[in-house]
Structure formats: C-alpha cells, structure tokens
Amino acid sequence: MTSRVRISLKDIFYPQSIAVIGASSDEQKERNSWTGVLLNFGYQGKLYPVNPKATKILGLQTYPSVKDIPRPIDYAILNIPAPLVPGVLQDCATKGVKVCHIFTSGFAETGMAQGVKLQEEVQSIVNRTGICVIGPNCLGIHCPDSRITFANLPRKGGPAAFISQTGAGAGRAIIYGCNKGIYFGKVISYGNAVDLDSSDLLEILAEDPKTKYIGLYIEGTKNGRRFFEATKKCLRMGKVMVILKSGLTEAARETVASHTGALGGSEQAWQAFFAQTGAIRVHTLEEIVHQLVAFQYIAQPKGRRVGIIGRGGGPGVIATEICEMEGLKVPAYNEKTREQLRNIIAEKAGSMVRNPVEIGVGWAGTQAGYKDAFKIVADSNEVDLILTHLNPEAFALYGGTPEWLNDSIDTLLQIYGTLPIPVVLVLPNGETRETRALVEHARRRCSRAGLAVFTTYESATRAISKLITYYESSHKFQDFEQ
Amino acid sequence: MTSRVRISLKDIFYPQSIAVIGASSDEQKERNSWTGVLLNFGYQGKLYPVNPKATKILGLQTYPSVKDIPRPIDYAILNIPAPLVPGVLQDCATKGVKVCHIFTSGFAETGMAQGVKLQEEVQSIVNRTGICVIGPNCLGIHCPDSRITFANLPRKGGPAAFISQTGAGAGRAIIYGCNKGIYFGKVISYGNAVDLDSSDLLEILAEDPKTKYIGLYIEGTKNGRRFFEATKKCLRMGKVMVILKSGLTEAARETVASHTGALGGSEQAWQAFFAQTGAIRVHTLEEIVHQLVAFQYIAQPKGRRVGIIGRGGGPGVIATEICEMEGLKVPAYNEKTREQLRNIIAEKAGSMVRNPVEIGVGWAGTQAGYKDAFKIVADSNEVDLILTHLNPEAFALYGGTPEWLNDSIDTLLQIYGTLPIPVVLVLPNGETRETRALVEHARRRCSRAGLAVFTTYESATRAISKLITYYESSHKFQDFEQ
C-alpha cells in the first residue's frame, strides 16, 4: 500500500479535529507542550487532550482514550512512551483517525533491538490498517494557514514549504527564515518515515497551489525512483526545489543510519539526480533559506554579469573576487559608463569609478551619488544584476549618524523598482547593540518592499549563481519524460 | 632608499606628539574627526591641531602651519585637499616630522592623470627627504596600547595585529573581532603605499614582542621577493600569519589597480608563496578573524579526528558532513565508548549515541548528560578535538527557559578546561531579541574564559582545518633558508 493514493494535502495540513494523546495533567507543563502550543498558535478546529487521569486540561474536555472521544478525529499527536505507541496507534486506527503524528522517539533511530522491534510493530499496523503515520521521532506539522504548529513560532506564512527529516532543523529554518524574509507556509518534520516519507510529501505538495518553493532536508529516501519522480512532478508543477541531501560522507552515512534509520545513498547517484532534475543542491540549513530568498526576491537575471556598488573600497574588491569564485562575472565598464560615473562621483575619499563602483561613506551628497550610480550601471547594458553592499558600522566609525543607514535604505527602495535589472543588497549583521537594531529594521523594510537582502557576500553570490544556473538549465527540464 | 632601515615600531605606533593638519575650525565637525577621535580614545601625547584660521580647536592650541608648532612633531596626520598634500608634506619634512599619515584620497587610486601626478610628487618628496609616509588614501594607525586610533573604536587591545590595504576593512575587522574575542592590538591601514608597504610593516611587526598573530589584507605588493622575505621573518619570529590576498581574478585585478594603484600578481605565484611560507590563506575579512580565533583559543590538536556533541539531531548530521568537506574526520566510536554513552543518554527523544552524540534538549538532566558526554568522548582516545553546538532558539521553541543556554555554557566552562583535548563551540546568532542578547552574553563569557566560539559550522570547521594544516606543516618551515 502506498500512502500517495490515500492521503491528501487536506488530511495532513488542514485537519478539523486533533487529539493530543499523552497531554500532561500538569497544566503548567502542558501549556508549553502540544495542547498549549496549538491553543497559543490559534488552532480553530476541535482539540481533544487525551489522558486517563484528567478530565480537563487547559480548559478542554479530556478523555481517557482516543476511543472515548465522541466525535470523529482527523489527526492525532502521540506524545507517549515508545512501548505504548503500537497499542495506541491501533486504537487510533480503530477510531478511524486519518493521520497519526508520532512525536515519540526511541524507535529504529536508536539502533537498539527494542526500538527496531517497536518500529516494526508500527509498520505492521500501518500496513494492516492503512492509517497514515508521520514519524516516529519527529515534530510533525507547522502550517500557519490552518494554525497548526509544533513550537512557539511566528504565525506568518508564505509560499515556501520545508520538508525536513530533522525536527531541530525545521524549527531553526522557520525562525532563521523569518529574519531573512522567508515565511514558511507549510513545514513538516517527518523523522523515521515509517510511512509518510519525502516522496509522499512532495507528491502532496505538488498539488498545493499555495506552495511555490520547496526546501528539503533529507538524510535518505526509501525509494530513490519514487523520489526522482516526485521531484519531477513538483518541478513540472512549477515549484522550485532546494535540497540539502545530508548523510553522504562515510561518517555522515553512519550517523544518518542512527538518526532516522534511513539509507544515505551514494554521492554519484545524488549527483546524477541533481543534474537530471534541475533541483538545486545546498549544503546547510541556512543555505536553504538563502536560496529561497534568491528565488522569492530576485527577478530572473538575463546573465551572469554583476555590477557592484558599494560604500567603501576594500569590501568591493573582496566581493568581486567572491563573485568570480562563485561563477559570476564582474566586467569592467566601457569608457562611456566610466565617464558617466566620473561625473557623479569625482575624486573623493573612498570613491572609485570602476566596477565595483565605490561611493565614499564620508562624501557629501552620497545618497544622490548612490542613486545616480544605480541608474548609470543599470542603464549601461553591461551588467545583468546589481549587487550593493552597506557597512552598518560605517557611520559609527567615520563620524556619521545612524540616519545614514536609514537614508541609504530609503535611496535603495526608491530606486530599485525603477531599474531594468534586479538589485541585491548585502547588509552584514550589526556588531553593536545600536547597529544590530538598525540592521534588523533595515532588513525588515527591504523584505517588505521585496528587495533581496543577504548577510554576507558568500551567501549572496552563491545563491545568485545557483539562481542563474537554475534559469539557464530550466529549458532542459521542460520535457522531463525523456 | 628603503623604509625598513629608517623607521621603527616606536615611530609608527608610539609617537609622542601628533599634528592634525587640516583640523576643522568647526568644532562639532572636528569632534568626530581626527582631533576628537584621538582625544576621545585617550591619546596621552602632545596633540596639535593645525588650521590657519583657528587658534584653538577642542581646547587645544592650534597653529597655522606645522612649521609654526614650537615643539618637535613625531607624527602628522594630513587631512587636507589632495593638491595641497605635496607642499604640506615638504613642510613636514623641513620640520623634521618622522612619519606622515596621508588620510587624503585623490591620488593614483583614481586612475586619473592629476591623481597619478600628485602621487608622483609625494613619492619624489619621500625619496628626496627620507620622510616616512603612510598612505595616501588610508586610515593609518589603530593602537590601543598608545591610545591612537582612526575611528570610534573599542579601547581593548590584544596579541593580534592587522595590516590592511583597505581602510573600511580595517575598521570592520576591529569591530567584528571584538564580538568574536579578537582584540587587535595594532592595526594599520596603509592605502596606496607610496612609501610604507606590507613588507615594511611585516618587518616592523616581526620585532614586536606584543604581536603574536598577524592578519593581512593585501591587494598587491611592490616587491614580491621582499614580501616573501618579510613573511618568513615574521614566521621565524614565531608569529602566525593569516593573509587575505585579494585582486587575483581578472576583474579584481583591474579593481585593485583602481583602488590602490597596486599590481595584483598571478594566482600561481601566490599559490607558491603560501605553499613555501606556511602563511595561511583566507578569502574574506571575517575569515581572518575566524582564523585568529582558532589560533588564539584552540590548543594544538593532535590530529584531524573530531567528536561532535550537540543538542538535537539534524544539525549534528550536517556538521559531520561539513567537517568532512573541510578535511576533518568524524570517526565512529568503538563499542566501549558507545556503551558508555548509552549509559548516560539512554533512548530519549532527540538523543543519539553515535558520533555525533546528540543530547535531546527536552530531556531531564541534560546538563549532567552533556557534561558526561564530554568526559566520555574526550577520554575515548578516539578523537582529537570536540566540536559542540548549541541552538539558541531551542529553549524558546521547545518549552524551555532562557536559563537553558546559560546553564549549558556553565557546564561547558566547567568541563572544557579539565579535558585532555580542545573544545570548540558553535553558537549561532540569536534570531530574536531575547536570544540575541543571550547569545552575546554567552559568547562574551566563553571568550573571557578562553573557549573558542564560532557562529557557524562552516567557519568553525574551516578554521580548525587550517589550524591543523598549519601545525602539520610547521616543521617544514622551521628551516626557511633552503
């Protein structure tokens, strides 16, 4: 039996009723656990704590067993000791629960006989009854749309989804994303994948009109062919896919076996997978978010030529080198463009009229010069994208005021939408309390206005380069059925 | 004439009297410029503003020209329009000023005839008079020891020096370093290097007993052979050298020509340089700081085997892979070690007994388990260094309290000094106001206690790998005179 025919997007992400099996009768504890987290996140469906020793938890009618709940249950969360899981899962199947999320750990991921045996029991119940299981050993669902979550997370959602074999990584990606302008609309941590695995989840998300970008953290997959087909289906449906395939090195492969009991697969096989599908490969959780920023905030560049516009000499040179290391070009401007730049910048401290253009921080009229530089570079027809960088410490170091950063962002937001090519901002984290707050504020303004912001040159250039590679290759993947 | 015979460490970094030529008569302005910055930083020597239109600036007796100052001047800062620089430099030479820092830009870096000609005039005055020039187009000196600086920077110094062709980068490195536990004791931004260049500065710092680590940002050097010899001298004197050589790509080479008028040199030549000297190559300003953290805070590891101890599953797997990508090993533990780990960790949510060891965040008694895991792994004789990671969002996500992070740091600080192998912490930036403050506090505690902290796995593993390579290779460089 495959889960792909029996389970829909609605079953997983939009259940109308949830049973929390193993809710604590200690309300203080449960306030920070499943019942409290769901209430706090604003879940609007029916919520039923299950605990044989309590009649009410956090104001909700509580039942001794899932079988005692007098209404249908769409979704159950199992937060009970591992040895009790098979029995309760059987109860859920009997009750007609569609989806069971087994939060509990202590299964095959332990590598110990007892855990492996318990997982086999879970597997056999799934096979026999057809109940759908998420997990075990995972955090389950986060879906701001239906107000379901697994932790105290922000409520804002968006067009990005994240499928994650690691729970800790799922939470981290959501929080990290919020500060970079990526608001995940659907996240699922699926752990040991005794039933639902990445292929099922991709097939389900392929049908979701609200999901445009899919990030994946996978350590292994049960069926490589199915994963390949599910990936192609998502791509065919117009979703962008960004994948962190972990567990490839020898050591990591053993770790993965421990972590979720999955098989890592060979590096060669995965290289072929990426080459054939056009899914984008990344190497850290943070890079998933950076790549999603590139897709969500940067319009398709026509080529790899980058114009760098900065506010101080050395960083522009470093950025140039990093661009070229990441496969981008930073071409010299022709004499006409240089002449135009010369006219606006003149020979002032910290200014340069080449590519990168540098506009000295201390120079009077910098905002006007900054703005003009964008127009000249964008209209030159010599570059396909502008990378600009601001040093949040600059004003503090060189006698300026905090308004300098705000004013620079004003300038950027005024100009970037009027240009024929995309603009990307590199704005490092502030290093003092004052600059940190200013940077946060500046980033939020940019994200809200749709301007792509990165923290480092490396993350920006890597994401831009992969974005361009994606567009360069995408015609190759238009007809998948080769 | 070479500057190496005429100028000493004392002349550059410890002048007894400074003239600020071009101090503004607008005191509000000068408060944020050279005179104000030096006063604010606590400079204890004699300070003389020079301005023909003022008699007192910020309470200091002001002179119309450097020649009018009735006392000897060790060091002059020139903050005047470029066309006036040659005349004033000649005045300084006549006055007997030893070192002139030309802050002013508008010389060869502009690539324009007038600037090139002005720089030639400066050069010819240097040749004729023997006056020592820093710059033009640079920020000059930062030396907390003698209370000289170029911006509003922290006063704390340390055993690291930074020689930087870029001024913006020098300021950024100092501020970035402060938050990572690297306090630069001597920094020099030397710009166009009409006279003093990186080779001179290395020869000077080689003799400084207070400098143990030298970071360099160079875009080019006037004399490759001299730079090679100066590097070898520093290494022979026991200094560690970390070099960001920028301007190697075709585009960056042109940029460099613009930025400081220097010649970039070929990639092959620089590869040979790094192979033959044992200086460490990095690619960003931030990486200079990360590498200095590794040298200053991590005792020499005996090998490349890393034991990972974390607080949640997925990140450990990712860290394992990044370790191996950076040339480190994450070996599986033998059965004896696993058995010991099993005894302390048991089969609880989010825990794993392999390498990486993972100790679930939500598990009761985690601090004791965390501590025991360090002892077991360190005593196993199976790894040479422990990499541990904490997720600052973990407690907020999974129902814990902020004390969780403080307690984890307590545990780390209690245990790490008692272990036979070095420990390195990866502690990402906080993503909320609360966690940000907690992380800052935690990092400061670690740095003060001598524990190495990094923000990402990539930066940690890269720095550790290069540290080990340095120690592996250092015997090769013991006898340089091949």
Q: How far does A478 lie from chain B, in Å, by closest CA?
A: 32
Q: Express each pLDDT in B407-426 by its tens digit.
A: 889 999 999 999 999 999 99
Do B92 and B37 sit in the same domain of this protein? Answer: yes
Do B119 and B175 sit in the same domain of this protein? Answer: no
Do A247 and A332 sit in the same domain of this protein? Answer: no
Q: Express each pLDDT in A165-220 by its tens digit.
A: 877 788 889 999 999 999 999 999 998 999 999 999 999 999 999 999 999 998 87
In a domain, B146, yes or no: yes
Of B285, B349, B393, the CB nearest to A318: B285
Do B144 and B13 sit in the same domain of this protein? Answer: no
Query: Residue B481: pLDDT above 50?
Result: no
Do B283 and B148 sit in the same domain of this protein? Answer: yes
Query: Residue B317: pLDDT above 90?
Result: no
ipTM score assigned to the predicted complex = 0.84
Of B258, B391, B397, the CB nearest to A152: B397
Calculated CA dihedral for residues A199, A202, A206, A207, nearest 10 degrees = 80
Q: What is the pLDDT of residue B257?
A: 54
In a domain, B301, yes or no: no
Nearest to A387 by CA among A335, A436, A425: A425
Q: What is the pLDDT of residue A428?
A: 92
Query: Residue B263: pLDDT above 50?
Result: no
Which residue of B320, B433, B438, B461 to mutate against A (max A Cβ within 10 Å)? Answer: B320
Query: Residue B437: pLDDT above 70?
Result: yes
Do A232 and A288 sit in the same domain of this protein? Answer: yes
Q: Express each pLDDT in A417-455 by its tens digit.
A: 999 999 999 999 988 888 888 999 999 999 999 999 999
Q: How far does B480 lie from chain A, in Å, by closest CA?
A: 31
Q: Which residues of A touch B315 (CB under 8 A)?
A: 166, 168-169, 172, 285
Give yes or no for a cis peptide into B356 (omega within 30° of 0).
yes
Q: What is the pLDDT of residue A263?
A: 46
Of A312, A342, A399, the CB nearest to B33: A399
Q: Which band of pLDDT confidence, cut at 50, 70 and 90, is reported for residue A482?
A: very low
Q: Domain total for chain A?
A: 3
Do B168 and B200 sit in the same domain of this protein? Answer: yes
Query: Residue A117: pLDDT above 60?
Result: yes
Check which CATH number belongs to the domain holding A103 and give it.
3.40.50.720
Do A365 and A411 sit in the same domain of this protein? Answer: yes
Q: Which residues of B touch A287 (CB under 8 A)?
A: none
Mean pLDDT over each residue of chain A, to the nearest integer: 88
Query: Residue B480: pLDDT above 80?
Result: no
The β-bridge partners of A46 are A17
In a domain, A142, yes or no: no
Q: Which residues of A touch B331 (CB under 8 A)?
A: 251
Q: Express each pLDDT in B106-160 by its tens digit.
A: 898 877 789 999 999 999 999 999 999 999 999 999 999 999 999 989 999 999 9
In a domain, B479, yes or no: no
Give the residue from A254, A270, A295 where a domain finishes.
A295
What's the domain range around B259?
140-295
Q: Express each pLDDT in A215-235 by its tens digit.
A: 999 887 878 889 999 999 999
Among A114-118, B403-407, B446-450, where is mean pLDDT lowest?
Answer: B403-407
Among B124-128, B183-187, B369-373, B474-478, where is mean pLDDT lowest?
Answer: B474-478
In a domain, B300, yes or no: no
Query: Residue B347: pLDDT above 70?
Result: no
Do B315 and B446 sit in the same domain of this protein? Answer: yes
Determine, for residues A354 and B286 on separate chains, whether the beta-carbon distance falls below 8 Å.
no
Do A103 and A203 sit in the same domain of this protein? Answer: no
Give the residue from B117, B134, B151 where a domain finishes.
B134
Check which CATH number belongs to the domain holding A254 and give it.
3.40.50.261
Do A319 and A195 sit in the same domain of this protein? Answer: no
% of chain B surpassing 90 pLDDT? 66
Q: Which band of pLDDT confidence, cut at 50, 70 and 90, is reported for residue B311?
A: confident
Give the residue from B134, B169, B202 where a domain finishes.
B134
Among A56-65, A275-284, B451-460, where is mean pLDDT lowest?
Answer: A275-284
In a domain, A143, yes or no: no
In a domain, A31, yes or no: yes
Determine, for residues B110 and A353 on separate chains, whether the beta-carbon distance falls below 8 Å.
yes
Which residue of A320, A383, A457 to mutate against B (max B Cβ within 10 Å)? Answer: A320
Do A268 and A321 sit in the same domain of this protein? Answer: no
Is residue A333 a contact partner of residue A305, using CB atoms and an 8 Å limit? no
- The tokens of B332 are what? 């599986």
In a domain, A350, yes or no: yes
